[in-house]
Chain A
């Protein structure tokens, strides 16, 4: 489809871009930055209203942007994640290095960056050729580096951004190298054509596998898969908390979308090989994440390692890649996104008050702010996969896929890991309920935080109790 005929199918993205530029311009004149964030949220809402379920796959812009059920699903996910993050950011109160609260700098630009981020994520979910995959990943990565270092007077934030940039550049380079090998072997950049090219030309399998592994390095970096997870804890700790919450779910979810596309469309014939690799990496990822999380005393680091472990569970479904496994990946991603964003909303509101993310500061939260503590408890239980919350549904699907696919070692390792994980999630719960509060003074929370918190909390409970419409929604994405 050429550019002009493509445009009617590109309205949500156009709205998003239009809002981003409008906010950028208005930022020059409007001093109330919160109004800009609300405008951004309205833009996302409008964009969301125009997202339609496509009845067939539409190759827009000469096949450089695909609108299909799969991208529809991730479009909704990306918009939802960014909207919740912006809601959480509205309530965010950073503390400077002297231990004083001060407003978030450049909050106009902050909103703009997130609007572009939403566009970048949609691009990631809609790309089916190597060029667009690389460009969209770079687009998202660069925005992530900027957002990570947004508290530019805070040394930790700066360190995190630099670390992220260095790690990111190296893995992007490796990925690009892999892509260039693949292009050399097949002469194609479109994933479907690459698959045909491999089938017809029958290039040396070792080379194909090497290129695939190199591509997986870049993508593994995005989803914080071990052994490419080293950046995650420092970046997650240093970044402004709403950005951390976003980074643990947004790029990760879309990273999985790209991996699903690459493996499913490009390399279905090599499933034996990549399945073995991913299954080993899945076990490695969850074990590293869970074991190191145990000793963390900072909640952002704890959730960082927990999110590495969660990536390991999601990888289970991908490694098995049977029907239930793929459904499981998408179900888990949404479950995880809602839960983790919710948990970070709680972290935001606690750090607003104390200026610290140490788990000790959660002491007695059950008394000081019963609803917040209750919500965080449910989020942690959902992360631990305790029914009837949505995290259990996700875990159930990936376990089911492993059992059906006869990946018994994987299933047993994951079961043991889940028990270990419960231990550190309960460390936080213990602080909130079992340790007495230093003072009984209640905490207060801004309205936007309440809205976001209630949305995520209702989400994890309702999707957990009535999962079948949700599962249907996921299944429609995979037609």
Chain B
């Protein structure tokens, strides 16, 4: 098992999903247990991976490489390095927690958990594959279950949100496919291997065009302004656990794509695109912040705050310094935990009140004490309170960008102020003030829900106080990436 550890991690959720299909309808209650146990098992495998991983070595570890379609040189290549390892662990953790968070789903459980498991495998595969063909397959495999998960179990406008998400992302990924093919035919001998393609030098204009093709695919996923319009719809309509995965992991697939494909393979074009990336980052940060500020719907506010926080990742990516890159990947990790937690908290409230209108609440701090504490904790983490993970990552992004883009860094600070504003304003409207008598009977958060949140809270604190536990893995990989890129950038 240890020799094929990554394959085990990637495919055990899917195996559970297929097993779930064979559970008789009368025993549909078993589905959630099968899914949870197997995802827990995958998480344990992930921890084994973490301990076996050598953080000092910069290259790919746990490489699995088998020829798959020899006629066109497609390989089944999996591997992790310091960039993908945190993403794999984040995915495993959130998939496990959101699976526990899914226990509230009562209708069509069998279908739900099958699709959920397929989604999990798709995301894990995306973060571990090192062959562009394989990467593309996993990337697309994520789309289909997501369509159903939003479309069947979502809110009132679920159908619109589901198809919008699907078409948007599909359009982007088709351009990515064209980019993949262009790289493939440019390499000699033709290959899809990301590692091999990184060694090829590409003509300037060709590189820029291919970069743009990949950019379309990734930008829609991140989402980068102006491709973000699917996000509020999808996040708001999706059921809680799926919102968690959407915000926590799916968005990171876009920024991960930049770091895994665009930057190492097309360094020159990436460098050329750097100013645009910086500007788009600031637009994301400020625009997302203002839109979040204007929301009346709790979930929509969190969704738009994601746009803003993803902007910091882009800012870090535009920095081209170790600090900036470290900050970007750390922010990917930390935003995944924080926003995942916030979506879970919105879900907790919605399950009880069946309402997400911020103005309809008030004074819940008196009624749901534990809930209020947790919500405040996650909000503070999200607005960047020092000592919690969000602060470290956003600080590193800003620190990394400052030497190159001073104006952009200053402008990004507005985003932090905005984050404080909309989050504290939310707390004020939901938790403070006089208790609305309508909610005087609301029960507090229960044990299962706390179980889904507690690991995230601990991790946020640990990373916030001692970020080295993650940076130890990131720094060698990102420094190598920068050196490799530096050799190719004129």
A residues sitting closer than 8 Å to B (CB atoms) are 366, 381, 386-388, 392, 396, 399-400, 403-404, 411-412, 415-416, 418-419, 422-423, 426, 429-430, 433-434, 467-468, 471-472, 475
Task: Name 26 A/B residue pairs within 8 A (Cβ), A-sorted.
Answer: A381-B144, A386-B140, A386-B144, A387-B136, A388-B137, A392-B137, A399-B178, A399-B181, A400-B72, A404-B185, A411-B178, A418-B174, A419-B170, A422-B166, A422-B170, A433-B111, A433-B148, A433-B151, A434-B152, A434-B158, A434-B162, A467-B69, A468-B70, A471-B72, A472-B71, A475-B71
Given contacts A403-B182, A418-B174, contact A433 B167 (CB under 8 A): no
Distance in angstroms between the alpha carbons of A423 and B166 in the assembled complex: 9
- A434 B71 Cβ-Cβ under 8 A: no
Is B280 at the interface (CB under 8 A from chain A)? no
Nearest CB of B to A306, in Å: 16
- A387 B170 Cβ-Cβ under 8 A: no
Distance in angstroms between the alpha carbons of A386 and B138 in the assembled complex: 10
Contacts of B184 in A (CB 8 A): 400
Residues 164-200 of B, flagged 1 when their CB comes within 8 A of A and 0 if not, give: 0011001100110110011011000000000000000
Distance in angstroms between the alpha carbons of A93 and B174 in the assembled complex: 40
List the A residue with the shortest CB-CB distance to B159. Answer: A434
Distance in angstroms between the alpha carbons of A396 and B68 in the assembled complex: 15
Contacts of A396 in B (CB 8 A): 177
- B163 A403 Cβ-Cβ under 8 A: no
Is B147 at the interface (CB under 8 A from chain A)? yes
Is B435 at the interface (CB under 8 A from chain A)? no
Q: Known pairs A415-B174, A415-B175, A434-B159. 16 more at Cβ < 8 A? A: A386-B140, A396-B177, A400-B72, A403-B181, A411-B178, A416-B171, A419-B171, A419-B174, A423-B167, A426-B163, A430-B159, A433-B152, A434-B158, A468-B71, A471-B71, A471-B72
Contacts of A472 in B (CB 8 A): 71
Distance in angstroms between the alpha carbons of A472 and B58 in the assembled complex: 39
Contacts of A423 in B (CB 8 A): 163, 167
Distance in angstroms between the alpha carbons of A471 and B152 in the assembled complex: 37
- B159 A412 Cβ-Cβ under 8 A: no
Is B143 at the interface (CB under 8 A from chain A)? yes
- A386 B159 Cβ-Cβ under 8 A: no
List the B residue with the shortest CB-CB distance to A386. Answer: B140
Chain B stretch 132-166: residues in CB contact (< 8 A) with chain A: 136-137, 140-141, 143-144, 147-148, 151-152, 158-159, 162-163, 166
B residues sitting closer than 8 Å to A (CB atoms) are 68-72, 111, 136-137, 140-141, 143-144, 147-148, 151-152, 158-159, 162-163, 166-167, 170-171, 174-175, 177-178, 181-182, 184-185
List the A residue with the shortest CB-CB distance to B168. Answer: A419
Nearest CB of B to A276, in Å: 21
Interface of B is mostly: helix
- A387 B166 Cβ-Cβ under 8 A: no
Distance in angstroms between the alpha carbons of A104 and B230 in the assembled complex: 49
Contacts of B181 in A (CB 8 A): 399-400, 403-404, 411
Contacts of B136 in A (CB 8 A): 387
Contacts of A404 in B (CB 8 A): 181, 185
Distance in angstroms between the alpha carbons of A426 and B174 in the assembled complex: 17
Contacts of B158 in A (CB 8 A): 434
Nearest CB of B to A434, in Å: 5
Contacts of B185 in A (CB 8 A): 400, 403-404
- A419 B144 Cβ-Cβ under 8 A: no
- B69 A471 Cβ-Cβ under 8 A: yes
List the B residue with the shortest CB-CB distance to A475. Answer: B71
The 10 closest A-B CB pairs, nearest first, are A415-B174, A419-B171, A403-B181, A387-B137, A471-B71, A468-B69, A404-B185, A434-B151, A387-B140, A400-B181
Given contacts A430-B151, A433-B148, A467-B69, contact A388 B141 (CB under 8 A): yes
Nearest CB of B to A436, in Å: 11
List the B residue with the shortest CB-CB distance to A393. Answer: B69
- A418 B170 Cβ-Cβ under 8 A: yes
Nearest CB of B to A5, in Å: 37
Distance in angstroms between the alpha carbons of A387 and B143 in the assembled complex: 10
List the B residue with the shortest CB-CB distance to A435. Answer: B159
List the A residue with the shortest CB-CB distance to B133. Answer: A396
Distance in angstroms between the alpha carbons of A387 and B138 in the assembled complex: 8
Distance in angstroms between the alpha carbons of A392 and B74 in the assembled complex: 14
List the B residue with the shortest CB-CB distance to A412. Answer: B178
Contacts of A429 in B (CB 8 A): 147
Contacts of A416 in B (CB 8 A): 171, 174
- B177 A415 Cβ-Cβ under 8 A: yes
Nearest CB of B to A38, in Å: 32
Distance in angstroms between the alpha carbons of A411 and B174 in the assembled complex: 10
List the A residue with the shortest CB-CB distance to B171. Answer: A419
Nearest CB of A to B160, in Å: 11
- A387 B141 Cβ-Cβ under 8 A: yes
Nearest CB of A to B150, in Å: 10
Nearest CB of B to A407, in Å: 11
Nearest CB of B to A438, in Å: 17
- A468 B68 Cβ-Cβ under 8 A: yes
Contacts of B141 in A (CB 8 A): 387-388
Distance in angstroms between the alpha carbons of A399 and B182 in the assembled complex: 10
Contacts of B166 in A (CB 8 A): 422, 426
Nearest CB of B to A369, in Å: 14
**Which of A381, A388, A415, A430 is the one whose CB lies under 8 Å from B178?**
A415
Nearest CB of A to B124, in Å: 15
Given contacts A388-B141, A434-B158, A468-B68, contact A419 B178 (CB under 8 A): no
Contacts of B159 in A (CB 8 A): 430, 434
Nearest CB of A to B77, in Å: 16
Contacts of A392 in B (CB 8 A): 137, 140
Distance in angstroms between the alpha carbons of A403 and B209 in the assembled complex: 13
- B68 A426 Cβ-Cβ under 8 A: no
Contacts of B174 in A (CB 8 A): 415-416, 418-419
Nearest CB of B to A433, in Å: 6
List the B residue with the shortest CB-CB distance to A464. Answer: B137
The residue among A412, A415, A433 with the most chain B CB atoms within 10 A of its own CB is A415
Nearest CB of A to B136, in Å: 7
List the B residue with the shortest CB-CB distance to A415. Answer: B174
Distance in angstroms between the alpha carbons of A430 and B163 in the assembled complex: 9
Nearest CB of A to B325, in Å: 30
Distance in angstroms between the alpha carbons of A399 and B136 in the assembled complex: 14
List the A residue with the shortest CB-CB distance to B150. Answer: A434
Contacts of B147 in A (CB 8 A): 426, 429
Contacts of B170 in A (CB 8 A): 418-419, 422
